Amino acid sequence: MPDPNDPLAPAALMARAQGVVEKHAALLEPLARLFAARGESLYIVGGSVRDAMLGREVHDLDFTTSARPDVIQEILGEWGEKVWDTGIEFGTVSAIRQGETVEITTFRSDLYDGVTRNPEVTFGDTLEGDLVRRDVACNAMAIELSLDDDSLAPTFHDPVNGLADLVIEVLDTPQEPEVSFRDDPLRMLRAARFVSQLGFTVADRVYDAMRDMAPEIQRITAERVQAELDKLMLGARPWEGIDLLVSTGVAQFILPEIPALQLETDEHMQHKDVYRHSLTVLRQATELEDEGPDLKLRWAALLHDIGKPATRAPKDGGGVTFHHHEVVGAKMSRKRLKALKYPKHVISDVGQLVFLHMRFHGFGEGQWTDSAVRRYVTDAGDLLPRLHKLVRADSTTRNAKKAARLQRTYDHLEERIADIAAKEDLARVRPDLDGNEIMQILDLKPGPEVGKAWKFLKELRLERGELDHDEAVAELKAWWENEHA
């Protein structure tokens, strides 16, 4: 992080700029020479410069240049092993060399119609003109790859004072936010995404513009909204990004189920509303992740209680209940994620986690039968590790004794699962007889009756555990006789 006492010290800026250039020198030097030979300037821009100035690791590099797309294509054809121009109409040409991919875009100076987010692409002539049209000021800094005696001599450019924003950890737009958001409403979602990723807050004028212009987000396609929400949800502090979308009203148009939770009080009377509880569960779920950000777990944590408004009912003696909110919430989760164009496996898994998140509650320590444990594991399937985390994250009570009791009870359940799994193959609970044996024993041909018999045997397996072959045959025959009595 730049020294807050001297944020614009040239030595500090040059050290950071020099550091990122030195790390990628093998890639950058030949590229800079080729552009210089054509009389064109070349700059590293965007998030890579921001991260360099924050002292973070920089991996991917984005570039802008004075060169027009046809010139970029010629230069990259000389530099790279493979070049592709799928974005050339927008001024972008890409290439790969020794495993390193670069994407270089001509200075842009686009015009927007204020109806869609699709600009009339026009190319600019200055770095400043290109940077001022970017989403936030801290993404509008650049490192010029100039040459001095045939070696790289990076120069830092900050025409819109993005570094000053980094120092105070604030997100602001290079131009008036109303102009920026009218040109491209997706930038409102990007602001929330950067809140999640960087832990910054938005400037007051940005917040006010998001609140006033929230309906403009409806101009953005579901696919683009989903892409930004993914980045937000996978950030370091997704609950803060979501909270910004809700407080400004943007969420009302893309995730209306979340602000709706503000109207409800949870049944434990421990939270101002179910909305705040849900943000806490999301935060606690991220803290339980052990293999990096988990998109499905995070979505399930955020959406787990969205069925509560529809199931709210008064309780005798005061308070409210939300019976079967997990059933309603699972359906609502699937519907919302489908509207956002998520893939089927995400929709299915998040919906199932929401559906199962209450299964644990209502059972005290020592009250889980072997049958209940088998069903819990079987219904969760591959989602069981995520379900463990979701249920633990869902404990947000401020009562320390109650919180400890809930965690202890779940510890006991996991111990029961491990104990039964050591004796049985819980990961693959199947009937003790397969379809071929069922048909042979009951003298059946393939058809619905075989499926009914298979289902009976699976239920029996869940209820009683593994049976030996003769016992399974006897149970099957008894069931069949009863069915056809």
User: Could you read off the pLDDT of 333-389 as tens digits, one per residue?
Assistant: 999 999 999 999 999 999 999 999 988 875 655 567 777 787 788 788 889 889 999
CA distances for 199 relative to 226, 280, 286, 319, angstroms: 21, 16, 15, 36
Last residue of one domain, picked from the residues 167, 193, 220: 167
Intra-chain end-to-end CA distance of the chain, in Å: 79
pLDDT tier at 113, thresholds 50, 70, 90 = low
pTM: 0.81
- 240 or 400: which leads in pLDDT: 240
**How far is the C-alpha of 16 from the C-alpha of 166, rounded, in Å?**
14
User: Could you read off the pLDDT of 226-240 as tens digits, one per residue?
Assistant: 999 999 999 999 999
- Shared domain for 410 and 448, answered yes or no, is no
- Shared domain for 383 and 410, answered yes or no, is yes
- Shared domain for 421 and 447, answered yes or no, is no
CATH number at residue 133: 3.30.460.10
Q: How many CB atoms lie within 10 A of CB 82?
A: 11
Q: In this predicted structure, what is the pLDDT of residue 24?
A: 85
Q: Are 65 and 106 in contact (CB under 8 A)?
A: yes
Q: In this predicted structure, what is the pLDDT of residue 10?
A: 60
- Shared domain for 355 and 396, answered yes or no, is yes
Average pLDDT rounded to a whole number, residues 253-276: 77
Number of domains in the chain: 3
Residue 127 lies in a domain: yes
Q: Return mean pLDDT, the chain.
A: 85
Phi then psi for residue 96, to 5 deg, are -130, 140
- Shared domain for 386 and 468, answered yes or no, is no
Position 211 pLDDT exceeds 70: yes
Q: Are 338 and 347 in contact (CB under 8 A)?
A: yes
Which residues, 6 or more positions from 14, have their beta carbon under 8 angstroms from its beta carbon?
154, 156
**How far is the C-alpha of 185 from the C-alpha of 256, rounded, in Å?**
18
- Shared domain for 106 and 158, answered yes or no, is yes
Q: In this predicted structure, what is the pLDDT of residue 270?
A: 47
- Shared domain for 393 and 443, answered yes or no, is no
Residue 257 lies in a domain: no
Q: For residue 138, how many C-alpha atoms fall within 13 Å in the half-sphere facing its CB?
A: 27
Average pLDDT rounded to a whole number, residues 196-201: 96
Reduced to 3 states (helix: H, G, I; strand: E, B; else coil), residue 400 is helix
- Shared domain for 389 and 357, answered yes or no, is yes
- 307 lies in which domain range? 294-426
Residue 240 lies in a domain: no
- Shared domain for 470 and 353, answered yes or no, is no
Instruction: Mark out the alpha helices in 169-262 (DSSP H runs).
Output: 177-183, 186-198, 204-213, 222-233, 238-248, 251-254
- Shared domain for 411 and 474, answered yes or no, is no
- Shared domain for 410 and 344, answered yes or no, is yes
